[in-house]
Each structure stands twice: as structure tokens, then as C-alpha cells.
Amino acid sequence: MKIYLIKTPELQPESMKDVHELLAGHAGPAVFLSDDYAFDPNQFPFLNKYWPEYRFQHTMEDKKKVFDKDRSVPLSWQELFLLCDHFRKEKNIPDGDFVVLLTMRKNALNWFSHCSRRNIFVHAGDWHHFTSADPRYPIAYQVTENIVQALMCIDNISIPNEFVHEVPKGCINDLCMDKHQVMLKLRTADICESCHKKIQQEGIDGKFVKQAFDIFEHVRKGILGRVTAKQPADPCTLVVEKGPRFLLPDMGIEIRLYPLFSALYLLLLKYTEGIRVKDLSNYREELAAIYHTICQTDNQEKVEANISSLVDPLSGHFSQKKSKINKTILSTMGPELAPHYQIQGIRGGEFRINLPRELLDLRVRY
Ligand SMILES: [Zn+2]
């Protein structure tokens, strides 16, 4: 199986060379080749203009942006795949081989990448918004991820779908509608159990799977090398935004919690001295009010039932929720930093979050 890397004119040849070197450095049945094929701008007039400063208004982009003729942005998926097909035809590329277009051009849905049959495009720009690591790492990941997905026969347009994870879990098939979520899968270099089964069901060559995971591991190390070097030994500011969203802008990460977990976490952020489980019922009304604001549901019964069991010291629900919150925090930021943000305490005593409150930037009231 051959994988041809090609590019649109605005992408520097060195950038494609860097990505190619990384991919080709891992032996296996997939042979990576790069081709400096120059598209004729008369034949493809949409390649004539390039607006590096064009910005989508939302990071979570699910509405198609209409092509602006004067600025020639953004390109539709059809235009991007048209270039792949043109190259395929010019060079007589067999159907079983992949053609991967690397481009700095924005695409109409603002996706990182996409695959149609065995044509793939990967957006090679803007990675500095998500990581300080060299962009060759996330780009190489995107190339490999799309090949695996194509071989897995995943339809990532029709969601919900068992193999497209809208809630990220550190699997190559995390959807990442919020683009910042992409760093999780790049850092884990992993694949979840159900996707692993699907790989086996589809009979994908084990040697290729190994090659792909060698690449993912290389990417993970490349990215973590930078992250580790940058990581402060001390905790950094936790920003709470509407939602609520728990963000660590200095680290470029987000702690993602379900509403009931968020409500509990917000309550414990508020009471610096901590709360004993047997005293939780004293905070019942406050917890219910926070949870209600987050859920925005009219189902009062459900809110009451969830809160009642959470504050009941005999239910064990506080302990379960605490463990899950702490696990999420650990997997998000690693063992060095997690203790600053986790819920600490021992049975019978106060449970608290030890983060110095001058590092808490609460931008919304709950
Ligand atoms: Zn998965």
C-alpha cells in the first residue's frame, strides 16, 4: 500500500518533507512517498488566493462556511478532494493507494482532516493554537489516523456512531468538535476497546496496525517532550467559564466533567476549608441550585433525586463521584499536576481542593 503526500502551493516544501520523514521512518506495509506536484493555477483558480489570516468565528464549527469568491476562502471539501483525484488521474495511482493532500487552506467545515474513499486532506496550519510542539507531529498523526479510519470503514459523517466518539476518550476516533480536544488523543496515542475490535473485524493487516501505532507513539513522545519541558512544577491558573468549562489556559487543556460532577466540583472550589461527607446535606440547596443552573432542565424530580443521593452519606455516591472526578483530572494533566486540582481528603474528614484560590479565575457565578 502506497501513500502519496501532495500539497497545495502555499505550503512550504520543507513542511511536507518534515512530515514525510517522520512517517517514512517507521517500517511496515505502508510506503510513504512525497510528490512536489505543482497544480496548474489556471486549471484550479481557487488556488490563486491564500488568506492566512482568515479566521473562523467559532472553535466549535459545525456550520458550513460559504465560499467567499473575492477572498477565495474557505475551500470546500469537494475542491480539496478534486485536487487528490486530479493527481490520482495524472499519476495513474491505483484505487487501493492513498493520496493525502496537505494544505494550509481552511476548509468549509473547519475540520482538521477528512477522508473520502482513499483521498485525504489534512489542514497543516494553525497547530500553534493547540500545541507548542512542532506541527509535523499533529500533521503526521492526522495522516495516519485517516488511513486507519478509512481501513476501518468508519462513516464519521453519520453520527451518533459507535466508532465516532463525540465525548473524547483518548481514542484515535474522538470526533473533537471542540478543536482543543484533539490534544488528548495525540497525547494518549491509544485506541479504545470497541475500535480495536473493529480493526480486527475488518481484518486490517496487523503489520500495518503496528506501523500506525509506532507513528502514534512517535507523535506522542514528540508532543509530550515539549509539554513536559513547558510544564510548570507549580500549579497554574484554573479558569472557570460559562458551561461550566474548567480550563487551564497555560497548559492548553480542559477538565471535562458531567453536570452533576461539575456541580460538586464547583461547590468544593467555593468552600476552601472543605466539606465533610456527613455535612454535605447542609449544602443541599446550594448544590441543587448549581446543578439546576448547569442542567437547565425542567425535570425538577431528576435534579432532586440526583442531589438527594449525592448528599446522602450512606449512598456512597459522593465517594464514587469524587473518584471519577479525580480520575478525569489525572488522565487530563498527569500525576505531577493532578493533586493540585483533585479532591483530597480521608474518610470522616473534610474533602477539599487544595488549589491556592489566587489561582482560581471564576468568570461566571454559580
Ligand atoms: Zn474508539
pLDDT tens sequence for the chain (366 residues): 999 999 999 999 999 999 999 999 888 899 999 999 999 988 998 888 777 766 665 554 456 666 676 666 688 888 899 999 999 999 999 999 999 999 999 888 888 999 999 999 999 998 988 888 899 999 999 999 999 999 999 876 676 778 889 888 889 999 887 778 888 899 889 999 999 999 999 999 999 999 999 999 999 999 887 544 444 457 889 999 999 999 988 777 889 999 999 999 999 999 999 999 999 999 999 999 999 889 877 788 888 999 999 999 999 999 999 999 999 998 887 777 889 999 999 989 999 999 999 999 999 888
Measured distance CA(34)–CA(5) in Å, rounded: 5
Amino acid 233: pLDDT: 53
Distance of CA 191 from the midpoint of ligand 1 (Å): 5
CB atoms within 10 A of CB 355: 18
183 and 257 fall within a common domain: no
224 and 242 fall within a common domain: no
Distance of CA 197 from the midpoint of ligand 1 (Å): 9
Written as nine digits, the cell of 130 is 493547540
With beta carbons less than 8 A apart as the criterion, state whether 173 and 192 touch: yes
Distance of CA 259 from the midpoint of ligand 1 (Å): 23
Measured distance CA(246)–CA(242) in Å, rounded: 9
Distance of CA 174 from the midpoint of ligand 1 (Å): 7
Task: Name the β-bridge partners of 275.
Answer: 351
Buried b (16+ CB within 10 A) or exposed e, 127-151: beebbebbbbbbbbbbbbbbbbbbb
Distance of CA 146 from the midpoint of ligand 1 (Å): 13
pTM above 0.85, yes or no: no
339 and 274 fall within a common domain: yes
Amino acid 229: pLDDT: 43
Distance of CA 164 from the midpoint of ligand 1 (Å): 7
With beta carbons less than 8 A apart as the criterion, state whether 164 and 154 touch: yes
244 and 222 fall within a common domain: no
137 and 166 fall within a common domain: yes
**CA 106 to chain centroid:** 18
226 and 290 fall within a common domain: no
Task: Name the β-bridge partners of 165.
Answer: 174
Amino acid 71: pLDDT: 66
138 and 219 fall within a common domain: yes
What domain count does the chain have?
2
Task: Name the β-bridge partners of 246.
Answer: 240, 255
Written as nine digits, the cell of 182 is 484533539
Distance of CA 187 from the midpoint of ligand 1 (Å): 15
Distance of CA 98 from the midpoint of ligand 1 (Å): 22
Q: Which helix (H) or strand (E) holds 353?
A: strand 350-353
Edge-to-edge strand list for the sheet holding 350-353:
275-276, 350-353, 343-344
Distance of CA 176 from the midpoint of ligand 1 (Å): 12
- The beta strands (E) that lie in 272-344 are given as 275-276, 343-344
Distance of CA 172 from the midpoint of ligand 1 (Å): 6
Q: Max CA-CA distance within the chain?
A: 75
Distance of CA 333 from the midpoint of ligand 1 (Å): 20
Distance of CA 313 from the midpoint of ligand 1 (Å): 36
Distance of CA 14 from the midpoint of ligand 1 (Å): 33
Distance of CA 110 from the midpoint of ligand 1 (Å): 22
- Write down which residue in 181, 214, 230 finishes a domain: 230
Measured distance CA(141)–CA(19) in Å, rounded: 9
Distance of CA 200 from the midpoint of ligand 1 (Å): 13
Distance of CA 165 from the midpoint of ligand 1 (Å): 7
Distance of CA 169 from the midpoint of ligand 1 (Å): 7
Measured distance CA(180)–CA(58) in Å, rounded: 12
Residue range(s) defining the domain that contains residue 97: 2-230
Instruction: Output the domain CATH number for residue 196.
Output: 3.40.390.10
35 and 184 fall within a common domain: yes
CA-nearest of 65, 75, 2, 57 to 34 is 2
Amino acid 226: pLDDT: 57
- Write down which residue in 184, 205, 230 finishes a domain: 230
Helices 13-24 and 136-152 sit at what angle, rounded to 10 degrees? 60
184 and 36 fall within a common domain: yes
The Cα angle at residue 149 between residues 148 and 152, in degrees rounded to 5 = 90
- Write down which residue in 161, 195, 230 finishes a domain: 230
Distance of CA 170 from the midpoint of ligand 1 (Å): 8
The Cα angle at residue 45 between residues 43 and 47, in degrees rounded to 5 = 110
187 and 282 fall within a common domain: no
62 and 186 fall within a common domain: yes
104 and 153 fall within a common domain: yes
